[in-house]
Amino acid sequence: MTTTAPTITAPVADARALGLAHYAARGVLEYVLARHGITFQQQIALRAAVGADVPQAPDDLVTQVRGSLKADPADIRATLDELLAKRLLVVDGAHLRPTDAGRELLAAIGAETAPVTARIWGGIPAEDLAAAGRVLSLVTERANAELAALTT
């Protein structure tokens, strides 16, 4: 008589699993951000400014952040105002640019989250990460297309 080991079925990726993973990881990040006195949306906007090759016009930053977060433009403008008030961004003519304090803050957050990120993502086989990356890119593309269809 031969016996076979039971087959373990991996959970299927779906919207709920994606949401749970997103909010678990975001919870870790928001915990760190709160210790630095910055919100998730502020961090996304500041990162967009820091990552730009040249200073960005406020409308360009609003567009970029909206593309990432799907947030209301008025809320994003308020976030930019908060970053200006915190002196993490500064007005440079018709543009906004990150201050040294803004760059240093993102560097500090990155240094603090790096070991946690390594523990979360560490040990996942490269082929699994590649497959997940392909699936998440496709889901993002499709969801963006659906949102565009709903809002036009």
Q: Report the distance separating Cα 118 and Cα 122, nearest Å.
A: 5
pLDDT in tens, 52-63: 999 999 999 999
Q: Which residues pair with 92 in a beta bridge?
A: 95
pLDDT in tens, 73-113: 999 999 999 999 999 999 999 999 999 999 999 999 999 99
Determine the residue type at 75: D
Q: What is the residue extent of each domain of the chain?
A: 34-111
pLDDT in tens, 112-148: 999 999 999 999 999 999 999 999 999 999 999 999 9
What pTM value is reported for the model? Answer: 0.87
Cβ–Cβ < 8 Å for 108, 38: no
User: Quick one: fold of 34-111?
Assistant: Arc Repressor Mutant, subunit A (1.10.10)
